[in-house]
């Protein structure tokens, strides 16, 4: 079996099964949060905080899994990551409480390691399918996010908690697919795990997200807020210095001296801030009953899942068209267009949101932008470094994505928590400030994308490679 899937379409098809699991896991809880939250007694801000917790776990697990993959082998760590996701999904489905949702979502965050580890295997086993293969995998990821949400929403129409079982069979398929994949031909890197760096990153990032989330309720100029912020910045600054001086870094900060990788990662951070950080907020807005000013659409779980499916369908279109668009106008222009599209989508939400058709216009544009940036940045993060550094480079980019999404979700939660109503609900001003912040940061991502430079000697992707990827 291993020999049969060691290259080409068979390899990509097997990887697609794992990516589908990742997409379902990332998509099925979002439309269920309002229903499950009502069942277990948590409100909109708390629901966003659960989503925020998973994004923090994404940011922490990204360098851990990437580093361990380089040390102990990409396939071995992929098996561990898939197993963690399966355990978390089963825990949530079997006993849904606030605590098990929090723990299960942290375990499910191991999906963040799938792409760096799969990229390491793909580049070493089938480099001719690199860009097109990544585009297909991103497309499958986006579609499965929407399909997972739709299946979960449909099941929850029959029973409020039935949709929580959606991810379990997909996790079982992913475990089987991970066993079937070949090992990477890249030799594992020697070295030791940098425990100090891992501790500094975890505590520093947790403190930063905490102050962004609670600063509004504490008071931004209060001693709690200022001390937590200073502590977070000091810890993260020390982490950077530890990583720079270490012979075995957890995250090789020195890789960002590569201006191409730095531009790609900065663009990823900016677009993920809104496009990914906004997903939890999207479900809350769609599921909230309209207030006196018309904010909220009052949709059920199935209707929310259909909106999410429409968004990822546009994301799939953006992802699959990105390689062709890059050949036509260049990678730098693709990054700029994707950032501008995201900014336009959020600006549309600021202006037009009182009915579902109006809301869909902005949401679908955001979905299109999401597909473009995920396909382009994941492909470019593979191509801008040597093969031996593939997982590290993709890991740096995935960490930028996770950090952007986590900080975006935290900022959205903070903007929500400020102008709440007497009943504790998010007000229209909270929603509009959040959408405006996402638009501004997405526009910054477009500006950063213009800094990307393609070396004149870099070969363009061939038509044959693109065709093979499309067929897969």
Concatenated DSSP letters for 258-292? SHHHHHHHHHHHHHHHHHTTTHHHHHHHHHSPP-T
pLDDT at 125: 65
H-assigned helices in 126-258? 130-158, 167-180, 195-218, 223-245
> Average pLDDT, stretch 389-395?
68
Q: What is the pLDDT of residues 42-73, one digit of tens each?
A: 766 667 677 677 777 877 787 778 777 777 77
Indicate whether 451 pLDDT > 50: yes
| Banded pLDDT at 129 (limits 50, 70, 90) | low
Complete DSSP assignment for 386-423: -GGGHHHHHHHHHHHHHHHHHHHHHHHHHHHHTTB-TT
Complete DSSP assignment for 72-113: H-HHHHHHHHHHHHHHHHHHHHHS-SHHHHHHHHHHHGGGGG
Per mean pLDDT, which range of 183-197, 236-250, 389-403 is the poorest? Answer: 183-197
pLDDT at 421: 53
Indicate whether 419 pLDDT > 60: no
Q: Tokens at residue 462, please?
A: 């061939």
Integer angstrom CA distances of residue 268 from 30, 308, 365, 368? 22, 21, 17, 15
According to the per-residue pLDDT averaged within each range, which of 57-71, 179-193, 363-377, 390-404 is highest? 363-377
Per mean pLDDT, which range of 115-124, 318-327, 413-422 is the poorest? Answer: 413-422
Of all residues in the chain, the percent with pLDDT exceeding 70 is 83
Gap between the Cα atoms of 66 and 247, Å rounded: 16
pLDDT at 87: 94
pLDDT at 8: 59
pLDDT at 45: 63
Residue that wins the pLDDT comparison between 35 and 270: 270
How many alpha carbons lie under 13 Å from residue 280 in its C-beta half-sphere?
A: 28
Report phi then psi at 52, rounded to 5: -60, -40
Indicate whether 216 pLDDT > 80: no
Indicate whether 465 pLDDT > 60: no
Average pLDDT of the chain to the nearest whole number? 80
How large is the greatest C-alpha to C-alpha distance in the chain, in angstroms? 63
pLDDT at 2: 42
Indicate whether 7 pLDDT > 60: no
pLDDT at 4: 43
Instruction: State the residue for tokens 């907020």.
Output: 281
pLDDT at 345: 95
| Banded pLDDT at 224 (limits 50, 70, 90) | confident
| Banded pLDDT at 3 (limits 50, 70, 90) | very low
Indicate whether 201 pLDDT > 70: yes
pLDDT at 469: 29
According to the per-residue pLDDT averaged within each range, which of 38-42, 286-290, 425-429 is highest? 286-290
Instruction: State the residue for tokens 């996402």.
Output: 438
Indicate whether 428 pLDDT > 80: no
Residue pair 394/66 in contact by the 8 Å Cβ criterion: yes
Indicate whether 227 pLDDT > 90: yes
pLDDT at 185: 60
Gap between the Cα atoms of 37 and 161, Å rounded: 10
pLDDT at 336: 93
Residue pair 451/445 in contact by the 8 Å Cβ criterion: no
> Average pLDDT, stretch 450-464?
58
Gap between the Cα atoms of 337 and 335, Å rounded: 6
Gap between the Cα atoms of 299 and 356, Å rounded: 9
| Banded pLDDT at 408 (limits 50, 70, 90) | confident
pLDDT at 290: 81
Indicate whether 86 pLDDT > 90: yes
Residue pair 435/153 in contact by the 8 Å Cβ criterion: no
Per mean pLDDT, which range of 399-403, 409-413, 422-426 is the poorest? Answer: 422-426
Indicate whether 467 pLDDT > 50: no
Indicate whether 468 pLDDT > 70: no
> Average pLDDT, stretch 441-447?
94
Residue pair 114/81 in contact by the 8 Å Cβ criterion: yes
> Average pLDDT, stretch 183-200?
70
Q: What is the pLDDT of residues 235-294, one digit of tens each?
A: 999 988 888 888 777 777 777 788 888 899 899 999 999 888 887 778 788 888 886 666
Gap between the Cα atoms of 310 and 170, Å rounded: 21
pLDDT at 225: 86
> Average pLDDT, stretch 146-157?
82
Indicate whether 424 pLDDT > 60: no
Residue pair 18/178 in contact by the 8 Å Cβ criterion: yes
């Amino acid at each position: 079996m291993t020999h049969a899937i060691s290259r080409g379409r068979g390899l990509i098809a097997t990887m697609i099964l794992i990516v589908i699991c990742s997409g379902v896991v990332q998509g099925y809880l979002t439309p269920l949060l309002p229903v499950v939250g009502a069942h277990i007694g948590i409100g909109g801000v708390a629901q966003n905080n659960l989503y925020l917790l998973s994004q923090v776990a994404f940011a922490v697990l990204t360098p851990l899994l990437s580093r361990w993959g380089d040390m102990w082998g990409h396939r071995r760590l992929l098996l561990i990551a898939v197993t963690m996701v399966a355990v978390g999904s089963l825990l949530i489905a079997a006993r849904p409480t606030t605590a098990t949702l929090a723990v299960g979502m942290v375990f499910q965050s191991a999906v963040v390691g799938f792409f760096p580890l799969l990229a390491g295997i793909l580049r070493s086993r089938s480099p001719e399918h690199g860009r097109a293969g990544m585009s297909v995998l991103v497309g499958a990821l986006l579609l499965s996010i929407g399909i997972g949400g739709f299946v979960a929403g449909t099941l929850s129409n029959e029973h409020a908690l039935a949709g929580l079982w959606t991810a379990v069979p997909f996790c079982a398929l992913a475990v089987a697919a991970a066993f079937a994949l070949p090992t990477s031909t890249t030799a594992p890197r020697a070295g030791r795990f940098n425990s100090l760096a891992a501790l500094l990153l975890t505590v520093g990032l947790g403190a930063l997200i905490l102050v962004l989330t609670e600063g509004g309720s504490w008071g931004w100029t209060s001693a709690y807020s200022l001390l937590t912020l200073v502590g977070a910045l000091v810890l993260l600054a020390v982490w950077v210095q530890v990583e720079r001086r270490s012979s075995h870094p957890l995250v090789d900060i020195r890789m960002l001296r590569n201006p191409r990788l730095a531009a790609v990662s900065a663009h990823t951070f900016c677009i993920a801030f809104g496009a990914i950080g906004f997903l939890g907020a999207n479900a809350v807005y769609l599921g909230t009953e309209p207030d006196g000013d018309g904010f909220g659409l009052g949709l059920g779980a199935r209707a929310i899942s259909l909106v999410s499916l429409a968004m990822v369908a546009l994301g799939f279109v953006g992802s699959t068209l990105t390689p062709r668009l890059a050949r036509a106008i260049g990678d730098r222009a693709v990054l700029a267009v994707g950032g501008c599209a995201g900014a336009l989508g959020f600006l549309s939400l600021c202006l037009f949101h009182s009915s579902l058709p109006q809301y869909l216009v902005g949401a679908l544009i955001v979905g299109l932008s999401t597909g473009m940036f995920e396909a382009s940045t994941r492909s470019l993060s593979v191509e801008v470094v040597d093969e031996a550094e593939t997982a590290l480079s993709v890991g740096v980019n995935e960490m930028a994505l996770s950090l952007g999404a986590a900080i975006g979700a935290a900022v959205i939660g903070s903007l929500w928590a400020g102008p709440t109503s007497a009943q504790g609900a998010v007000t229209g001003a909270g929603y509009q400030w959040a959408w405006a912040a996402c638009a501004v940061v997405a526009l910054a991502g477009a500006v950063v994308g213009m800094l990307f430079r393609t070396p004149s000697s870099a070969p363009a992707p061939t038509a044959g490679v693109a065709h093979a990827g499309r067929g897969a």
